[in-house]
Amino acid sequence: MKDSGIYYSLGALLYTAADNTNIIDDIIFEKFNIPFSLAFSFDTTSNDAEADKAENILVKTLDKLFVAKKERNFYIPKLFIRVLSTAHIPHLYKKFGSLLDLITGFILPDFSVSNADVYIYEMQRINSVLSTPVYILPELDGIALLDLKSRYIDLYSIKERLATYEDYVLNLLVSTGSVLNSFCVRRRVDENIYQSSPVASLLADIVTVFATDYILCAPAFEYYAGIGWEEGLLKEIEFDKMNGFVGKAVVHPKQISIVNDAYKVSSIDYDDAQSVLDDKKIYQVCANVNDTRINEPKIHYSWAVQVIFLAKYFGVKKY
pLDDT tens digit string along 49-71? 888 999 999 999 999 999 999 89
175 pLDDT higher than 80: yes
In a shared domain, residues 222 and 296: no
Q: Once rounded to an integer, what is the mean pLDDT over residues 91-109? A: 92
What are the helix (H) ranges across the chain?
A: 23-28, 48-71, 88-96, 116-127, 151-163, 177-182, 197-210, 229-242, 256-262, 267-277, 297-314
Task: Report residue 22: phi and psi, to 5°.
Answer: -90, -20
pTM of the model: 0.94
The pLDDT score that the predictor gives to residue 48 is 82
Number of domains within the chain: 2
In a shared domain, residues 284 and 177: no
CATH code, 160: 3.20.20.60
In a shared domain, residues 113 and 44: yes
State how far the Cα of 77 lies from the Cα of 215, in Å rounded to an integer: 19
State how far the Cα of 32 lies from the Cα of 44, in Å rounded to an integer: 23
199 pLDDT higher than 70: yes
1 pLDDT higher than 80: no
State how far the Cα of 241 lies from the Cα of 272, in Å rounded to an integer: 18
In a shared domain, residues 291 and 259: no
Q: Once rounded to an integer, what is the mean pLDDT over residues 240-253? A: 96
CB-facing half-sphere around the CA of 251: CA atoms within 13 A: 11
How many CB atoms are located within 10 Å of the residue 250 CB? 22
How confident is residue 238, by pLDDT bands cut at 50, 70 and 90? very high
In a shared domain, residues 207 and 286: no
Domain interval for residue 116: 5-263
Q: Once rounded to an integer, what is the mean pLDDT over residues 17-23? A: 93
In a shared domain, residues 314 and 223: no
